[in-house]
Structure 1
Amino acid sequence: MASTHPEFLAHCVDLLEALGTVRPRRMFGGHGLYVDELFVALIIRDTLYLKADDETRGRFEAAGCQPFDYARRDGQRTVLAYWTAPQEAMESPALMLPWARLAMASALRAANGKRPKAARRAAARPRQPAAARGKAGA
């Protein structure tokens, strides 16, 4: 997979900085872009994809944006919840801001829907029957 050109990465960071400090991180053969530790965008092959969800996907579709997808080893296609930014939004931070806000809102909803790590770990641990727990303390 082709890597992201440093100039394109810097441009995308500039476009999203109205949301806050943008932190790029290498991933998926490209970069993930985080704002306040929320994963709001993905850059693959010099294309910016913004986070979307059920509430925002229609706006991206209406603007002619395309979802990020890839072929798995078994030949099936996987579609992620990231959509290309509208071409005109790539021209300036002011034009990107409404789309960046949609991505941030989607990322916030996704983060709020997840259980904290400690709760996920506790749920993954096998539970002992109550009788067994009582005997351990006796």
Structure 2
Amino acid sequence: MVVEENYLEHVKDLLSSIEGVTYRVMFGGYGVFHEGDMFALISGADPMLYFKVGDLNRDAFKAAGGQRFGLMSYYQVPADVLEDSEKMRDWASEAIGVGHLTSKNHRR
């Protein structure tokens, strides 16, 4: 399972306004990180973007009908968010917050 390059470039374009975002190849997909903490993943040959979900943003994902990625705390990003850079920034910012809160790198 390799993520299509066009999809990856689309996601990178949508997240380009957020400084500190990096991408790493992981298990045929990509992990998306902010300052070293994973907040999103892109999976599969039929690529999907999933954001890290916690108490801060779970209700929004459920209300939007987001599908959970396996047993992990990641939910599929709604289609309308993938088409709107302002919405993407808002949703990504919340996922980044959850990623930092749950990361061992930022725990004290």
User: Considering the TM-score relative to the shorter chain, is it more than 0.5?
Assistant: yes
The equivalent residue for 1:15 is 14
Which of the pair has the greater relative contact order for Cα pairs under 8 Å at 6+ separation?
Answer: 2
Shift of 1:37: 1.4
The equivalent residue for 2:58 is 57
The equivalent residue for 1:96 is 88
Q: Within 1, Cα distance between the matches of 2:82 and 2:60?
A: 16
TM-score by length of 1: 0.69
Structure with higher helix content: 1
Shift of 1:115: 5.2
Q: Residues 55-101 of structure 1, C-alpha deviation per residue, up to 9 Å, x if partnerless?
A: 321111011111101xxxxxxxxx10111111101113212111101
Letter in 2 for 1:44: S
Alignment: residue pair count: 106
The equivalent residue for 1:127 is none
The unaligned stretches of length 5 or more in structure 2 are none
Matches within 5 A, 1:46-125: 46-69=47-70, 79-111=71-103
Q: Within 2, Cα distance between the matches of 1:37 and 1:87?
A: 26
Shift of 1:112: 6.0
- The structure with the largest alpha-carbon Rg is 1
